[in-house]
Structure 1
Amino acid sequence: MSNPADEDVRPVVSTKELVDVLAAGCKPRDAWRIGTEHEKFGFVRPESARPGRPAFSAPAYAPDGIEALLLAMEAQGDWTAIFDGKPIIGLKGQGDNQGGAISLEPAGQFELSGAPLATLHETADEFSRHFRALRGPARKLGLGFAPLGFHPLATRAELPWMPKSRYAIMRNYMPKVGSLGLDMMQRTCTVQVNLDFASETDMARKMKVSLALQPVATALFANSPFYEGRPNGWLSNRARIWTDTDNARSGMPEICFRDDFGFASYVEWALDVPMYFIVRDGKLIDVAGRSFRAWLAGERQDGLDGFTPTIGDFEDHLTTVFPDVRLKTFLEMRGADAGSPEMMLAQSALWTGLLYDDAALSAAEALVREHDYESYRTLRGDVPARGLETPFGAGTVRDVAARMVAIAADGLRGRDLRDADGRDETVCLAPLFAIAAGGATQAEHWLARYEGPWAGDTSRILSEAEV
């Protein structure tokens, strides 16, 4: 989730201004960029364990934990601190890190929001720089980091809470609207890629394709088969968690599949998603459950009396809706578990190949049209358990995944953007070719390790997945 940003204090006069917020994202093709965000769980490395700080436990905010890590990374240069009141809760990139940010998820999951980059080769370099920059100060604090979709060991009670104001509001509200919201906050990690659009029509095409195929991506990137030290019966427990987090703001909104879908219809949907907070004088005010639409209409609501809705309020509100593909001034692909660096790079490559080449996007549209949209919405609930082996149409999800990967590869070849060794961006898809052809997903790999050399010791996953 995002760090606090400068607020646009212009009052909202009409919903057209809210449509304009989204339309401002339209860019010419040569300005399209790739922005990758990825999260990972911190843990105490075994050699640094001590009484009160057991091996593989999650680091606290302080002392010798997340706060110290943020300060150490700031001291490396090219980062400036972001505060929520007095606590440091993130870093804003400068210099070589310009355009990027580091933020904290509720239990201290460490997130890099990558800079908007022109090629996947640059994304790969950014990954490498980030993990190198993180590894040194983390090791000095006795910490490691592992990108997995759901925490394999910890109970919620064993995990800390970060001192971010928005999380205190969400923590209070989530149990009122779903049974698994606190698990989502504390025990999940994801990877997402943010991609641009040229126009409203282009956005709508990309939204329909990516939203329909998001469950297939969930199956490809499944990486959360453990719960509190044992297999949980799911390949993507993270995806299962999202089926009962807060369904008023999550999932695959039906409106996105309509023929007339566009910026205005997304605004209308978002206005009916209950609010979390507004920001005034740099402080968050809890208005969880209130209606943005009613606020715009001037209706009286506790906590909002005396406040005028602003453009900044709506921009903040957009960060608190959680569909599987989220529209802001770009599109966010949100259906994948965090995983190995190679797999997280492949997630960005998959969607870039599908959506950034005209022929590939047309082929992906044709693939999607083979089934009705309700089939994809049903698939979303089916794939967390069986992954690529989930029955779909006349075959399985793996069949669709293989075609998806092939289309994406064609799209990346069409971009023909090469690294210093002359390789095009299809090199970033390498792990997906093997999985689509019948290989094990990350979750299946870990389950085989659990049944084999680990002899049931799930803690081994954190060391083996460490970046």
Structure 2
Amino acid sequence: MSNPGDVDDTPIRSTEQLAAHLAEGAKPRGEWRIGTEHEKFGFRLPGSAHGSAFAPPPYAPNGIEALLEGFAADRDGWEPIRDNGALIGLKGQGPNKGGSLSLEPAGQFELSGGPLRSLHETKAELDAHVAALHPVAAGLGLGFAPLGFHPAATRAEMPFMPKSRYGIMRRYMPKVGSLGLDMMLRTCTVQVNLDYGSEADMARKLRVSLALQPIATALFANSPFEEGRPNGLLSTRARVWTDTDNARSGMPPLFFQPDFGFGLYVDWVLDVPMYFVSRDGKLIDVAGASFRDWMAGRNPALAGIRPTVGDFDDHLTTVFTDVRLKRFLEMRGADAGSVPMMVAQSAFWTGLLYDDAALAAADALVHEQPWESYAALRAAVPAQGLDAPFGNGVARDLAARVVALAADGLRARALEDAEGRDERSYLDPLLPIVNGAPNQAQHWLERFHDAWNGDVSRIFLEAAI
């Protein structure tokens, strides 16, 4: 969940205005960019003077706040973001412009990368972030591991960050699902943000990517442990999302309608329950209220406060569908993982969605099955992964076809690095998996039962970046 950006104070006059606002996000192909975001769990290194080995660090002292302060010491690269005086993020400046560093509710540390032209730049950005993280984290006795679900800590053992919106969500989540607090405190994801060229292009990209999110979940599954033991799942993070807050999550059937567009999306979003309204640097808790009612003047708690386009943009950040539409598209179905796997996730979606032929082929492929088949697959892959039944076979069959299409799309982009390699090389970690090799979760399960002798804490150092 990224840090706040600039606020648009334009008063809202109509739903058509909001649809037009989303339409303004469309860009010509030459301006399409790739933005990769990833989260990771902090842990105390063995021998740290500040806490027990592998424990999650607090905000303060000698924790997440100090980590942000370490990055902020580079005053030419980062500008502090504060919430009621607490340092809760950094906005990129100079060489980091367009990116940000932020905190998830339990201190999961997030890089929201800048909009980049190629996957070669994505890989370089991630490498530079890891290189910058190491000395700052080491000085605090911290390591960081990108995993989809915390493998050891209970919910009660996770710290809580001083970010106002998280306090509101913490109070509201237990009212609408049994696993919302686990989503907040014990999950990490990687996502890629991609552009669209028109309303029709948005609708096709959203339909294809939403249908195929379960395939991404299975390919990138990286969370088979809970509170120190295997729990029978490959992606515990994905299971958490099935009972977090289904009024704002999942794969809404509306998105698969032939006439889906910005107008229908806005009409749906206005009935997604709100969390908060921001005014004068403070958040007003309106959790569960209707944005539509606020626009119509039917919310007494917001009497005299007129909704703005900036409020609508804030509300969009509280929509948690597997693909989220803002003024770009966010792919949200994958567990955080190793750097090669995180780049592979960006490559997977870039190859499918940024080449016309690959996208057309993926759209035709998706239409081979009804929407309900993909919804059923979403429910099955947290436990069964690529072995989940699908059509006349299993999800692995679909995954192999989709990865091949992504490779075709990246070949057509023909963007080479200094050594003359195109972007297809970033899909290499996926090729053994679609051919039957273990995914990340299955690799860790093998390690747990063999080399680790049942000690899940071994994952932290082995998974650390």
TM-score (norm 1): 0.98
Q: Deviations over 1:260-283 (max 9, x none)?
A: 000011101100000000111111
Code of the residue aligned with 1:38 in structure 2: it is H
Q: Distance in 2 between matches of 1:422 and 1:437?
A: 27
How many Å apart are 1:6 and its aligned residue? 2.6
Q: Secondary structure at the match of 1:265?
A: helix
Shift of 1:9: 1.4
Secondary structure, aligned partner of 1:46: coil
The separation in 2 between residues aligned to 1:7 and 1:176, in whole angstroms, is: 30
In structure 2, the residue matched to 1:17 is 17
RMSD across aligned positions (CA): 0.8
Whole-Å separation in 2 of the counterparts to 1:45 and 1:162: 21
Partner of 2:5: 5
Helix, strand or coil at the partner of 1:54: coil
CA distance in 2, matches of 1:107, 1:303: 30
**Inter-partner Cα distance in structure 2 for 1:119 and 1:413:** 13
2:234 is matched with: 235
Q: CA deviation at 1:302?
A: 4.1
Query: For structure 2, which runs of at least 5 residues remain unmatched after alignment?
Result: none
Is contact 1:82-1:92 (8 Å) kept? Answer: yes
The superposition leaves residues 48-90 of structure 1 with CA deviations (integer Å, 9 ceiling, x where unpaired) of 155xx21100000000000000001111341111111210000
CA distance in structure 2 between the partners assigned to 1:29 and 1:262 by the alignment = 19
1:5: Cα distance to partner? Answer: 2.4
Instruction: Give runs of aligned pairs for residues 438-453 of structure 1, distance below 5 A.
Output: 438-453=436-451
1:107 matched residue in structure 2: 106
Tell me which residue corresponds to 1:80.
79
2 CA distance for matches of 1:7 and 1:414?
Answer: 38
Report sequence identity in percent. Answer: 68
- 2:142 corresponds to 1:143: yes
Give the match for residue 68 of structure 1.
Answer: 66
- What amino acid does structure 2 have at the position aligned with 1:114? G
Whole-angstrom CA distance in 2 between matches of 1:253 and 1:302: 30
Structure 2 letter corresponding to 1:203: M
Post-superposition shift, 1:370? 1.1
Residue 424 of structure 1, aligned match among 422, 425, 446:
422
CA distance in 2 between partners of 1:428 and 1:95 (Å): 27
- Matches of 1:72 and 1:409, distance apart in 2: 39
Structure 1 spans left out of the alignment, 5+ residues:
none
The alpha carbon displacement at 1:303 in A equals: 2.1
Q: Secondary structure at the match of 1:152?
A: coil
Instruction: Tell me the residue number matched to 2:329.
Output: 331
**TM-score normalized by the length of structure 2:** 0.99
Distance in 2 of aligned mates of 1:459 and 1:276:
36
Equivalent residue pairs, number: 464
2: CA distance, partners of 1:26 / 1:286: 32
Paired residue type of 2:25? G
Counterpart Cα distance in 1 of 2:410 and 2:428:
12
- Aligned to 1:112, the other structure's residue is in SS state strand
Superimposed CA distance per residue, residues 128-165 of structure 1 (whole angstroms, 9 cap, x where no aligned partner): 00001011110010000000000000011111100000
Of 1-10 and 150-159, the range deviating more from structure 2: 1-10
Name the counterpart of 1:364: 362
Secondary structure of 1:47's counterpart equals coil
User: 2: distance between equivalents of 1:47 and 1:347?
Assistant: 34
Name the counterpart of 1:352. Answer: 350
Q: State the distance in 2 between where 1:348 and 1:93 align.
A: 21
- Distance (Å, rounded) in 2 between the aligned partners of 1:227 and 1:29: 43
Aligned AA (1:98) = K
- What is the aligned partner in structure 2 of residue 158 from structure 1? 157
Q: Give the 3-state SS of the residue equivalent to 2:456 in structure 1.
A: coil
1:286 and 1:303 in contact (8 A); partners too: no
Q: How many angstroms does 1:95 deviate by?
A: 1.3
What secondary structure does 2:301 align onto? coil
- Equivalent in the alignment of 1:33: 33
- Give the drift of 1:361: 0.3
1:362-441 mapped onto 2 (5 Å cutoff): 362-441=360-439
Moved over 2 A (4+): none
